[in-house]
Amino acid sequence: MIVKSNNETQGFGYLQKKTFSPPQLIILIFFTLIFIGSILLILPISSSTGESIGLMNAVFTAISAVCVNGLTIINIGEDLSFFGQVIIMLLVQIGGLGFMSLSVMIAIVLGKKIGLKERLLIQHTTQAASAQGLVKLSIYIITIVLTFELIATLILTLHWQSALGFERALFEAFFYSISAFNNAGFALQDIGLVSHVGDPVVNLTLTTLIIAGGLGYIVIVELIRKRNWKTLSLHSKIVISASIAITLITFTVIFLLESLNVNTFGHLSTGERIQAAWFQSIVPRSAGFNTIDISALLPATQFIMIILMFIGAASGGTGGGVKINTIVVLMLATLATFRGGGQVKAFKRGIAIDSILRALAVVISSLLCVVLITLLLTLTENLNDYSFITILFEATSAFSTTGLSLGLTKFLSDPGKVIIAITMFIGRLGPLTLAYALAHRKSNTRMTYPNDNIMIG
């Protein structure tokens, strides 16, 4: 959308008052990206057979790519041509990196000025605390993303070259590097990465990318700039410490549980079990890769993965979910309540009540969304053919933009495909972003009422 103005300051004000707010613009641009991606994927050139993959398949795949989800109803490696796979990579990169960050780089190259409208959009998409220094932040983000992806591409190319040949190894390495850093989880093989369960190079390279993308750009930039734990922001400290804790706990639980499962870890050596447990402790928090058959996991392990998918990565990162920092804030508020109330704090810093209320709103709205989607899927899909945990797993995976599946996605009915597609879109943007975007106006009333007590519990 182009807004013409005779002066620089009028443009954003006109856009804000007469047309769209930043959240609404983000939704509009996402719709545009999905539309363009669908058109490109429906072309015969995108299909490996030379025949169109069909409208439903194209739209579903485009939504999954732009929303960096990874759920598919087609086989990316077999049903799409080289051109189609490149389109997937581009959509994932734009969807994960952020279209505004890319726009900033293009504007800088073309010598264009970054206005207030663009700065506010960057702030909303990166979830930065301030509108200052956002152009420099965007440059940092682009540099970080390309550095991680190119190094990983080099490592994987050299590792796969002898088996695949240089050209194919280079393409697959680049594809998986983009998919992993952006927490998308798209794979070129229908079985995922099962054949690499005991490959330390693949396991460590991809999980490093997933962790880096999931931490969030703000955290990575702080780590590069400050390099000192004491000077990090409260947000970065919470994200890093909570991520380490939840990863170690999950790794231990999955290793112990699945060591009892002959269908998953039964045929693996101790080293392979450690790698498999490590990989599956990382990927549920928003990257839908797998090195073991997810459908063969114990129900207890699958339920743990549902919890991890719902929690997700960190705010400002490429992952989905309600965000780990959101969960930590609510846990700290709960602990403070158990201790008799008082200030909610962490690392000798207090947490504002607004942050706690926003965290509560995100978790409650997300829970309601997952419950509703699960209910709808039980109506559109035959529950007698699938267990309830399979449907809950699929709904949570779609909402959290994880992309893991117990096998239901490819057999969804048409209404089920529509439901999952909408869920992926909502999950990527977030319930609060949609609420802000759809709100017609903000209440400016100054009227307040006296407080009263309500019985709780």
The residue behind tokens 């960050």 is 101
DSSP string, 106-126: HHHHHT----HHHHHHHHHHH
Q: How far apart are CA 148 and CA 76, in angstroms?
A: 24
Contact between 284 and 404 under an 8 Å Cβ cutoff? The reply is: yes
> How far is Cα of residue 126 from the mean position of the Cα atoms in its chain?
13
Which residues are bridge partners to 349 per DSSP? 346
Contact between 416 and 381 under an 8 Å Cβ cutoff? The reply is: yes
Q: Outline where 216-263 has alpha helix (H).
A: 217-226, 234-258
Nearest 5°: CA angle at 317, between 150 and 438?
130
Q: Residue 423, exposed/middle/buried by CB under 10 A (0-12, 13-18, 19+)?
A: buried
Which residues have a Cβ under 8 Å from the Cβ of 168 and sit 6 or more positions away? 160
E strand segments, 292-422: 345-346, 349-350
Contact between 174 and 86 under an 8 Å Cβ cutoff? The reply is: no
Which residues have a Cβ under 8 Å from the Cβ of 66 and sit 6 or more positions away? 30, 33, 34, 37, 91, 92, 94, 95, 428
Q: How far apart are CA 387 and CA 382, in angstroms?
A: 9
Q: Please give the radius of gyration of the chain, using alpha carbons only, rounded to the nearest integer.
A: 22
Which residues are bridge partners to 346 per DSSP? 349
Which residues are bridge partners to 47 per DSSP? 80
Tokens of 55: 């409208």
Q: How far apart are CA 48 and CA 51, in angstroms?
A: 8
Q: How far apart are CA 322 and CA 329, in angstroms?
A: 12
The residue behind tokens 């590792």 is 159
Contact between 398 and 69 under an 8 Å Cβ cutoff? The reply is: yes
Identity of residue 50: G
Q: How far apart are CA 360 and CA 342, in angstroms?
A: 18
Q: How many CB atoms are located within 10 Å of the residue 345 CB?
A: 12
Tokens of 367: 């829970």
Q: Residue 384 has what DSSP assignment?
A: T
Q: Residue 16 has what DSSP assignment?
A: I
In tens digits, the chain (457 residues) has pLDDT values of 444 444 444 443 444 444 666 667 777 888 889 999 999 999 999 999 999 999 999 999 999 999 988 899 999 999 999 999 999 999 999 888 765 455 555 454 445 555 555 555 555 555 554 555 566 777 777 888 889 999 999 999 999 999 999 999 999 999 999 999 988 889 998 888 998 999 999 999 999 999 988 887 778 888 888 888 888 888 889 999 999 999 999 999 999 999 999 999 988 999 999 999 999 999 998 788 999 999 999 999 999 999 999 999 888 777 788 889 999 999 999 999 888 878 888 888 898 888 888 889 889 999 999 999 999 999 998 777 778 899 999 999 999 988 899 988 888 999 999 999 999 999 888 765 665 555 545 555 667 788 777 777 7
Long-range contacts for 170-174 (Cβ within 8 Å, ≥24 apart)?
A: 171/82, 174/89, 174/149
Contact between 137 and 98 under an 8 Å Cβ cutoff? The reply is: no
Identity of residue 31: F
